[in-house]
Chains A and B, each alone.
Chain A
Amino acid sequence: MTELAQLLETWEPVIGLEVHVQLNTKSKLFSPSAVQFGAPPNSLTDPLVLGMPGTLPVFNRQALELALRLGVATESKIRAKSRFARKQYFYPDLPKGYQISQYDEPLCEDGRLDIIVGGAVKRIKLERIHIEEDAGKNTHVGQFSHVDLNRAGVPLVEVVTAPELTSAEEAAEFMRSLHRLVRWLEISEGDMEKGQMRCDANVSVRIRGEERLGTRTELKNINSFRFVQNAVEHEIARQVRIVDGGGRITRETRLWDADLGSSATMRSKEEANDYRYFPDPDLPPLVVDGGMMGTILRTLPELPAARFTRYIEQHGVSPDDARTLISDRALAEYFDVTCKLHPGERSGRTIANWMLTELLGALNAEGKDISQSPMQPATLSELIRLVEDGTISGKIGKEIFEESYKTGEAPTKIVERRGVQQISDEAALWEIVDRVVTANPKQATEYANGKDGLFGFFVGQVMKQTQGRANPVVTSDLLHKRLGR
């Protein structure tokens, strides 16, 4: 056992995340200039984005709708009347000298997000989800910094978890679950490389069993799923070694450097900002109207974690397959449609097998995803039925799949055309079995004298005679009768 693993027997990490997610809108949160990734510097601004004198914010309806979707999907309390506040600090990427955010009256509180750890669902409490505007981008160049304000004013939600994550793995899994959810609900692309999802982590450690939280540090600037794991892992190790050596953790903000694979102090509590929050006098209270709530409630799809459980309990799908099926909403939808077309006990398990091996296999080979599948659920279900009712063997089934996938021809048609229906008729098979045995007296005698291995030889002969169409069960049954054992 490694030295760190040993320390973690005594010390328990506690992690809380603050995740910023870009809302998928055409225009900015408070002005109509466009939201777009990778545009030339300062080509997506207007007087408001630049913080020019006399400009005023006007709130983007779509941002509210998307934030509410997330609030509802996480079973958050939605505030009938929430408020925008100014978070004030001086920074070159913050044109107005304040960020319009939400402070003591956020849109959503007390939510939860289910994450899947070790094949089971774990429920993580969300303290709040609030709407705020993004800042611009500073690029460090020698003894200067360059400021690009294209991103300034882009709509974000900040999702704040309770300190309930207990390992770097869980932290990373939370990010993956949130990522899946926001894509599932079409709230955000969630592309971390494009900065559409960014994460700050509050990390502390305490003796296992201890109630009180230890002194926490805030890790900033974590911009990929891998970094979340690495950064948190690294910080846990750092803290555990300090406290175990009898040292104390200092309350500070640390900056994660992915290239160095380490973090460094950015600002200590002493120099912490006094943000001087106060209600933004330019923006009256945000009142959520029933109409919008109604639409959101009506149109909210079944969520990934719920489907995960349903697939296992209702369809007998294995946890691993269930996890794969919910990795992408389109995949899950495909599975659900196929199941509906294909009722019957436990058929879900079979459908999952065909989807994840044959169908995904074929799609991956072409670099396609499920939404581009040439084979529709009805066709797949038809094929599976042919196998289930014994019309064709599983082996033939795979051949039929390939042909139908390529040509789009219906499986039933292919089966008829190729005449590959399985032969299960005893009378017909008896003749073939009898002919095969008569034709091989030597082997028949050796078998009779106990050379069991030869049984397979006879089965093979029968299959040869029938181009593999003989029903294997019936065949071996008749062979036993004909051979006498």
Chain B
Amino acid sequence: MSEWLSVADTAKKIAAGELTAVRVVDTYLSRIMNHDRELGSYLAVDGEGAREAAKAIDAQRAEGKRLGPLGGVPISLKDVLVTRGLETTAASKILEGWIPPYDGTVVEKLRAAGAIVLGKVNCDEFAMGSSTENSAYKRTRNPWDTQRVPGGSSGGSSASVAAGLCAASLGTDTGGSIRQPAAFCGVVGLKPTYGRVSRWGVVAFASSLDQVGPLTRSVHDAALVLEVIAGFDPRDSTSLDVPVPPYTDALVGDVTGLKVGLPREYFEGEIDNEVKAALDKTIAALKDRGAQIVDISLPHTSLALAAYYLVAPAEASSNLARYDGIRFGKAAQGAKDLLDLYMKSRGAGFGREVKRRIMLGTYALRSGYYDAYYKKAQQVRALIKRDFDDAFGSVDVILTPTTPTPAFRFGAKATPMDMYLGDVFTLSCNLAGLPGISVPCGLTSDGLPIGAQLLGKPLDEATVLRVGHVIESLVGLRDQRPKAVS
């Protein structure tokens, strides 16, 4: 079989009996054996569990039972997704060895749909980063150029999907952590509307920004997976109680009359020329297909970075207070008293970037500083949201580059600020709670993928998928595969 099979075709062939789930799983497992030593996308491979699940799927079929929409489809999960009985570390030392007693909602939904969990993939520690270099465990390489980062924080997801080490993957996106690595690895990455997908069983980074979403090799696959994981969950008080439309129906291959907004703030300033060129080509192609291109403005865009790097660390500093080495995870040895236990366990358990953000967030929430920092940031956030509300009064969808540059080399970002600046195009989407997708729209001269980002109205995933699908067909990567695995 071909590991490049789409999610839909894999499920179809298994349902039709042209392929067994066991065969599919074994194919992926052997590819992981062959390629992942170099790529380092997986933190843990659950071969046994995957084969068991595959056997169960094949048995179901043998008994003539109807298989779920993802019956037998092998997927990888970012290690911030809680998996019952399967070590979940969020790529942090402080959670090393934690075996959760429960499954997150998205994991339950995937299993219920017949998907097979191959294992847990690498990411930046607690999803804090843009290169997966902040993982406490290993370096994950970009399949298109192993000297470069896969992006982050969902770098294990993007790399495993791009290299054909799974049919699809779930990542999380707090400020671009699905869309940016998708862009760097030439895959599709979708961040749903805040509240569309349950956060129950998602190791929290920034609660008001986090969303789970699919990374896949096609827009159609993304639509299929989203259909499975989306929907109301009474275990998440921020989950939206609204029906989930059949997203695949939105992929009509037509954009005639659609108003596509180009926010000028996203096109002026520091953008790599090849990225700019690829976007121009994409815009021209859409126009050519009958889309209406509209110039718009999102005036508060320049403030998004500051607002984000106050709100996210503030929430993170609170969400990460539970890691104290008392009830689970790692504790420092030979602490002389309680304070010492806290200080040492957390000091040794967290990596540098996580500590930096905890410090930043703690600073922003201190009494006397709250109004000037956290509250101010949340007010600016409201202004950013207002910008989008205004814009969506006149356009159906917004098109921007996903990142200012293609994938960079390991260690290329000298300071935290340099790293943060790479997120400028993806942050606002999370601050405003909007759906966003990154779709490949070409390669650079030295063969690095470039991503186009589409932002939609709240709960209008359908339109970003619809337009993304057309972009994919016009300027997508088609059958071009990463060097490392072809």
Show the binding face of A for B, using Cβ within 8 Å: 47, 50-59, 86, 88, 90, 92, 95-98, 145, 147, 274-278, 281-284
Contacts and interface: CB of A to CB of B under 8 A. Distances in A.
B238 A282 contact: yes
A411 B203 CA distance: 72
Contacts of B445: none
Contacts of A95: 322, 327
Contact of B237 (A56, A274, A277): A56
Contact of B207 (A52, A275, A282): A282
B203 A54 contact: yes
Given A97-B321, A147-B326, A277-B370, 19 more contacts: A47-B102, A52-B102, A54-B100, A54-B202, A54-B203, A56-B200, A56-B236, A56-B237, A58-B237, A90-B342, A92-B324, A97-B318, A274-B367, A275-B367, A276-B318, A276-B365, A278-B318, A281-B315, A282-B207
A98 B318 contact: yes
A96 B365 CA distance: 17
B334 interface: no
A278 B321 CA distance: 14
A59 B102 CA distance: 20
A55 B200 contact: yes
Contacts of A96: 321-322
B292 interface: no
Given A56-B200, A282-B207, A50 B318 contact: no
Contacts of B100: 47, 52-54
B398 interface: no
Nearest to A53: B203
Contacts of B338: 92, 145
Nearest to A91: B338
Contacts of A282: 207, 237-238
Given A47-B102, A58-B237, A278-B318, A53 B82 contact: yes
Interface in B368-392: 370, 374
Contact of A59 (B202, B237, B315, B374): B237
A57 B318 contact: no
A95 B314 CA distance: 19
What is the predominant secondary structure among interface residues of chain A facing chain B?
loop
A281 B208 contact: yes
A53 B236 contact: no
A13 to B, nearest CB: 30
A187 B370 CA distance: 36
A47 B100 CA distance: 9
B137 interface: no
14 contacts: A50-B327, A50-B328, A52-B102, A54-B82, A54-B104, A54-B202, A57-B237, A88-B321, A90-B342, A95-B327, A97-B321, A147-B326, A274-B367, A278-B314
Contacts of A275: 367
A51 B327 contact: yes
Contacts of B204: 53-54
A58 B232 CA distance: 14
A51 B322 contact: yes
Nearest to B362: A276
Contacts of A88: 318, 321, 365
A51 B100 CA distance: 12
Contacts of A86: 318
Contacts of B326: 92, 147
Interface in B331-375: 338, 342, 362, 365-367, 370, 374
B243 interface: no
A325 to B, nearest CB: 45
User: Residue among A54, A58, A147, A282 with the most chain B CB within 10 A?
Assistant: A54
Contacts of A283: 237
B230 to A, nearest CB: 17
B77 interface: no
Interface residues of B, number: 43
A95 B326 CA distance: 9
A58 B370 contact: no
Nearest to A90: B342
B235 A53 contact: no
Contacts of A278: 314, 318, 365, 370, 374
Contacts of A52: 100-102, 322, 327-328
Given A92-B326, A281-B208, A58 B95 contact: no
Contacts of B327: 50-52, 95
Interface centre among B199, B235, B317 (most CB of A within 10 A): B235
Interface of B: 81-82, 88, 90, 95, 98, 100-102, 104, 199-204, 206-208, 234-238, 314-315, 317-318, 320-322, 324, 326-328, 338, 342, 362, 365-367, 370, 374
Contacts of A281: 206-208, 238, 315
Across chains A and B, which 6 residue pairs bring their CB atoms closest together, nearest first? A97-B321, A281-B208, A281-B207, A276-B365, A54-B82, A51-B322
Contacts of B314: 278
A90 B315 contact: no
A81 to B, nearest CB: 15
A241 B236 CA distance: 55
A284 B321 contact: no
A276 B358 CA distance: 13
Point out which of B237, B338, B367, B374 has the most chain A C-beta atoms below 10 A from its C-beta. B237
A284 B365 contact: no
Nearest to A47: B102
Contacts of B320: 97
A468 to B, nearest CB: 73
Nearest to B195: A284
B324 A97 contact: yes
Nearest to B315: A281
Nearest to A59: B237
Nearest to A273: B367
Contacts of A50: 327-328
Nearest to B320: A97
A137 to B, nearest CB: 14
Chain B CB within 10 Å, residue with most, of A55, A96, A274: A55
A52 B102 CA distance: 10
Contact of B95 (A53, A55, A276): A53
Contacts of A92: 324, 326, 338
A88 B82 CA distance: 24
A274 B237 CA distance: 27
Contacts of B367: 274-276
Contact of A284 (B199, B200, B238, B362): B238
A412 to B, nearest CB: 61
Given A59-B237, A278-B314, A47 B101 contact: yes
Nearest to A93: B326
Nearest to A96: B322
A59 B238 CA distance: 12
Contacts of B236: 56, 58
Contacts of B199: 54, 56
Contact of B366 (A57, A90, A147, A274): A274
Nearest to A282: B207
B93 to A, nearest CB: 14
A310 to B, nearest CB: 44
B88 A53 contact: yes
A59 B235 CA distance: 10
A58 B90 contact: no
B374 to A, nearest CB: 6
Contacts of B207: 281-282
Given A55-B200, A147-B326, A276-B366, A90 B321 contact: yes
B31 to A, nearest CB: 29
Contacts of A145: 338
Nearest to A55: B200
Nearest to A51: B322
Nearest to A97: B321
Nearest to A279: B378
Contacts of B206: 281
B359 to A, nearest CB: 13
Nearest to B343: A90
A276 B361 CA distance: 10
Instruction: Count chain B CB atoms within 10 A of each CB in A53, A56, A276 and give the residue with the most.
Output: A53
